[in-house]
Amino acid sequence: MARDYYGLLGVGKNATDTELKRAYRKLARELHPDVNPDEAAQARFKEVSAAYEVLTDPEKRRIVDMGGDPLESGGGAGGGFGGAGFGGLGDVFEAFFGGMSGAQGGGRAPRGRVQPGADSLVRTRLSLAECAVGVTKHLTVDTAILCDLCHGSGTNGKSKAVRCETCGGAGEVQSVQRSFLGQVLTSRPCPTCRGAGETIPDPCRKCGGDGRVRARREIAAPIPAGVANGMRVRLAAQGEVGPGGGHAGDLYVEVVEQPHDVFVRDGDDLHCTVRVPMVDAALGTTVVIDTILDGPTELTIPAGTQPGEISVLRGHGMPRLRSGARGDLMAHLDIVIPTKLDSKQTDLLRKYKGMRERDRAEVMSAQSEHSSGLFARLRASFSGR
C-alpha cells in the first residue's frame, strides 16, 4: 500500500512548497537524532525526511497524487526510508540545519560511482483488435546502455579510478558554522567527485567516464490480450542503464487504444448501434455483426422490438486481462421510421391502420410503465448523465 506522505508531514494535498518546508522544519527540530536520541523518533525522522524529499520533487509528487509510491520497491539509492544517510535523504535536513549528522563524527559513506538506472516510458498505439488478441510490438527506444568500450568502468584502457583528493574518498566535505541550534558541523557532497569518493583521471574516450552511452535500439514488447487504454506493460531491466554501468531500470510500455469504427469499449464490454427498419422491428429479424474475436455472429431481434432496447450477445466482448472470461457485446437498437413513402406504401399503411383501430396517439400518464421509462431518459439527458 502506498505511504501517506502528506499525512507524515501533517499537511493537506494542496500544500505549497513553503508550507511543506515549514512543516518539515517543525518536525525535524523534534525528531532529529542529534536532538532526540529515542529510536522511535529516529525512525519517524527517516519517514518525515522521505516524505519531504518526495513531495518537493514534482515528478514524485505527481506519482503520489495518482495513488502510487515513488519509493516503493527500493526505487532509489538507499532503498526507501532505510539505508545510510536515511536512504540518501540526509541532505534535506542539512539544507535547513547545517548537517547535524556530522556533529557526532558519523558522516555518510560515499555513494559510489555505480548507481541504479531510471525507469523509461514509451507509448504504443494499438487497435481494438490488437488489444483483444494480444500482440508483440516491435518498438524503437532511445535509452542509456552500457558502454561497450569500457564496459561500465568509465576508464580508458587499463587505467583505474582513484580516491578523490578533495574529500579523501569520503564523498563529502565538512565545515563548521553557526546556526540557531548553535555551532554545528556542516557536511556537503564533495564538488569534485560529486559524492562518489573517487575520480577518473583518464576517462573512457567514448562515454567520458559515465560508463554508459545513449543509443537507439529495437525491442520486442509482448502485449497481453485484454489490455486497455492507459495500461502499462513492464519490461524488466529494459530501461536506462545507471551511472557507472549500474543495473538498468525497467521499461514501461503504455497502451494508447485507437477508436474503432463500429464498437465503443466500456471496460470488458463492447457497445454498437444497430439500425432496424420499422417493419423488421415489428416482425422480428436477424442481423449479422462482425465481432472482434468471433467474426460474423448472428443477432436475433425479436418481434415487437421497441426503440432504445438493447440486445446482448453474452461473451462476445473483450477478454478480461489474465482471465479466460470475456465481456458482453451490447447492441443498441435504433428503430428507423421511413420519412418518404410512395402512394402504394401509403395506402398499405392506411389499410394496416384501419385494421388496428385501437392503436391511436394519446398522452400517457407519468406513472405508466412506458411513460416512466421516457421520463427517466429525459431526466438523464437534462442532468447530463
Name the binding residues for Zn(2+): 147, 150, 164, 167, 190, 193, 204, 207
> What is the end-to-end Cα distance of the chain in Å, rounded?
33
Beta-bridge partner residues of 176: 185
Contact 313, 328 (CB under 8 A): yes
Q: Which residues are annotated as a binding site?
A: 147, 150, 164, 167, 190, 193, 204, 207
> What cell numbers appear for 138 in the block?
516491435
Q: Which three cell numbers stand for residue 303?
A: 418481434
Q: 345 exposed, middle or buried (CB, 10 Å; 0-12, 13-18, 19+)?
A: exposed
Q: Residues 69, 81: contact at Cβ < 8 Å? A: no
| 374, HSE (Cβ side, Cα atoms, 13 Å) | 11
